Amino acid sequence: MSSHVDVGSTFGVYQCCSLQTYEPTNSQNKADAYVKVWCNDVFGGMTEHRPDQNNPWWSAELNFPNCKVDNTLKLEVWDKDLFFDDKMFACTGKLKSGTYDVTCIASKGTLYYKYRVY
């Protein structure tokens, strides 16, 4: 069995994510945040929601076997509500080969995440 991996053939999000200075959409000023992740138009998964936390963090690994260098990575931050969840902001960027720590600053918060393309 070969252990060879083609360069740029696999993508993973590691240590997804932490969120700071989050502005919740409910009147109690408590966030119920979670993050959805896409590579190009392919949905790769989401974190669990963290109830009543304005600075949540997650330890999640999401793998995209067909995601490659120069594809677009998109992470969306959502606030879970009783009936309809609210999209708070999104972070997008082109993937580069290697491992990167990324800071995405938006008006409603800052998302920190790490990704690796190999």
Amino acid at 107: S
Rounded CA-CA distance 71/95 in Å is: 6
Task: Answer whether residue 9 is part of any domain.
Answer: no
**pLDDT tens digits, 58-79:** 888 888 888 889 999 999 999 9
- Number of domains comprising the chain: 1
Task: Answer whether residue 39 is part of any domain.
Answer: yes
* Residue 96 lies in domain: 14-117
Query: Which of 117, 75, 64 lies closest to 95, judged by CA?
Result: 117
Task: Answer whether residue 87 is part of any domain.
Answer: yes
- Show the tokens assigned to 12: 């993973």
SS3 104: strand
Lowest mean pLDDT among 19-23, 54-58, 87-91, 94-98: 19-23
Mean pLDDT of 38-57: 89
Task: Answer whether residue 6 is part of any domain.
Answer: no
Task: Answer whether residue 7 is part of any domain.
Answer: no
Task: Answer whether residue 61 is part of any domain.
Answer: yes
CATH number for the domain harbouring residue 40 = 2.60.40.150
